[in-house]
Amino acid sequence: MSTGLRYKSKLATPEDKQDIDKQYVGFATLPNQVHRKSVKKGFDFTLMVAGESGLGKSTLVHSLFLTDLYKDRKLLSAEERIRQTVEILKHTVDIEEKGVKLKLTIVDTPGFGDAVNNSECWKPITDYVDQQFEQYFRDESGLNRKNIQDNRVHCCLYFISPFGHGLRPVDVGFMKALHEKVNIVPLIAKADCLVPSEIRKLKERIREEIDKFGIHVYQFPECDSDEDEDFKQQDRELKESAPFAVIGSNTVVEAKGQRVRGRLYPWGIVEVENQVHCDFVKLRNMLIRTHMHDLKDVTCDVHYENYRAHCIQQMTSKLTQDSRMESPIPILPLPTPDAETEKLIRMKDEEVGGGVRVSRAGPGLLSFLTPFSMLSPPPAEAHAGNAAEDEAANAGPVTPPQPHISRDLPPLGMAPPTPGARWAWT
């Protein structure tokens, strides 16, 4: 009962307590139950990092999650990199904090933007993202859906070089190729080479260019109107700081008597977690502490659904193009046969012994079996029926009647058989 009281409505006053106890059903403990189950199941998150090499991607990932994923990395020389193509590397690590487990997957893209000719260098990356969506789509449509592995990319941190005057053509190309498939969070890397006024100018410039090129980066959701002022203020600051100017560091230095993560320069110490120095803290809070679930939701509800709709649309348009193909989904409506037809069908069924149910429209059947021959309607119905029966018995497996052939049936006063309807063929 004590846990239930925690979720009591705000409007309750001590005087109403007794009344509320009487009205209390108990589903207010649902959030607790969800919490317990989720903690047991554990969480997963896939983060992609992209950008030119040397922008501090690995260092930033290390600083964000405090784990070293790149211990034995070998840096390639420039000559080796001339002929390198963009690779996709996945690192998975299980981290735990206060009993909550997180399976973190980092997708790295070494070689991006490094070559002399970088045309379409984002293609391997779009292919990878599409592949993950396809895999999930297949799993979802499959029979055994118990343990679907969700490898879809939930967020892509794109590192923009601080040495330019804004977005480069390669940056624009990459973001336009991926903005409808994945949540893109643009970052300004190595922000310690810029003074505050330069950072401001660069951020403005980048924001303008993102609007100009129509790039859809990840938008922070609006906070509810009943949140308190503090939270709203934080949210506003967050939105105004995008794109975040970040600095990463693997080393701990001594500053003002404290040990902090930072970079030691002859002219001063840059502290990674100091909000005046860079936006690292804002990025970490956004990515991990407040918006991680929203990123996953947007991936599932928006990007994946777009992909799925697109995929299905492609599939059905392919099917209607080729009408000779077997249609797994009934396209034409099933007309109900009249009572006379039903009776005759039942009669014939008994004769045949429930085997092959044949069409009453004799010539129609014949025309099915020999679709390209022109047949004259038989003189008597019964004969036609028998002939048809024999034909059916002798014939091997026949493909279900096709729509365009049924149109050729000479009208015999009976409904022509419709495709895939009541007729079972051997």
Sheet hosting strand 244-245, strand order edge to edge: 89-97, 100-108, 43-50, 155-160, 184-188, 244-245
Nearer to another protein, 154 or 282 (CB): 282
Minimum CB–partner distance for residue 206 and another protein (Å): 12
By CB under 8 A, residue 81 contacts another protein: yes
Q: Choose, by CB under 8 A, the member of 2, 13, 18, 117 that binds another protein.
A: 117
Task: Considering only the stretches 130-138, 185-193, 356-364, 373-381, report the one whose residues sit in contact with another protein under the rule CB under 8 A.
Answer: 185-193
Matching residue, tokens 């317990």: 36
If the CB atoms of residues 200 and 343 are measured against another protein, the closer one turns out to be 200
Does 260 engage in binding with another protein (CB under 8 A)? no
Among 18, 25, 37, 79, binds another protein (CB under 8 A): 79
Q: Read off φ and ψ for residue 52, nearest 5 degrees.
A: -60, 160
By CB under 8 A, is residue 82 in contact with another protein? yes
| Dist CA 99 CA 82 (whole Å) | 46
- Binding of another protein by 75 (CB under 8 A): yes
Residues ≥6 apart with Cβ < 8 Å to 136: 148, 150, 151, 152, 304
Q: Name which of 255 and 412 has its Cβ closer to another protein.
A: 255
Q: Which is nearer to another protein, 248 or 417 (CB)?
A: 248
Residue pointed to by tokens 């310690």:
192
79/87 Cα distance (integer angstroms): 17
CA 349, CA 357: separation in Å to the nearest integer? 6
279 binds another protein (CB under 8 A): no
Which of 14, 142, 257, 266 touches another protein (CB under 8 A)?
Answer: 266
258 binds another protein (CB under 8 A): no
Min. distance of Cβ 197 from another protein in angstroms?
A: 9
Is residue 252 part of the contact set for another protein (CB under 8 A)?
no
Q: Where do we find the tokens 């991006």?
A: 112
- Is residue 164 involved in binding another protein (CB under 8 A)? yes
**Are 156 and 183 contacting, i.e. CB atoms less than 8 angstroms apart?**
yes
Which of 46, 53, 367, 406 is the binder for another protein (CB under 8 A)? 53
Phi, psi of 295, deg, nearest 5: -60, -45
Q: Give residue 386's identity as a one-letter amino acid code.
A: N
Query: Which of 106, 184, 210, 270 forms a contact with another protein (CB under 8 A)?
Result: 270
- Choose which of 1, 11, 25, 78 interacts with another protein (CB under 8 A): 78
Cβ 243 to another protein shortest distance, Å: 16
271 binds another protein (CB under 8 A): yes
Among 91, 101, 168, 348, binds another protein (CB under 8 A): 168
Per CB under 8 A, contacts with another protein among 187-226 are 190, 192-193, 195-196, 201, 208
Return d(Cα 338, Cα 70) in angstroms, integer: 74
Rg (CA), the chain: 33
Q: Where are the alpha helices (DSSP H) in 213-338?
A: 229-241, 280-284, 292-298, 305-321
What's the CA gap between 296 and 34, in Å, rounded? Answer: 17
Please report how close the Cβ of residue 193 comes to another protein at its closest, in angstroms: 4
Pick between residue 6 and residue 201 the one whose CB is nearest to another protein. Answer: 201
Q: Using the rule CB under 8 A, is 292 a contact of another protein?
A: no
How many angstroms separate the Cα of 168 from the Cα of each of 157, 193, 200?
16, 18, 18
Select from 41-49, 101-109, 262-270, 328-336 the region that touches another protein (CB under 8 A).
Answer: 262-270
Assess contact for 29 and 3: CB atoms under 8 A: yes
Which residues sit opposite 100 in a β-bridge?
97
Place of tokens 């330019």: 164
In angstroms, the CA 18 to CA 15 distance is 7
281 binds another protein (CB under 8 A): no
Stretch that binds another protein, among 127-135, 230-238, 267-275, 378-386 (CB under 8 A): 267-275
| Contact footprint for another protein (CB under 8 A) | 52-56, 75-79, 81-82, 114-119, 121, 161, 163-165, 168-170, 173, 190, 192-193, 195-196, 201, 208, 263-271, 274, 276-277
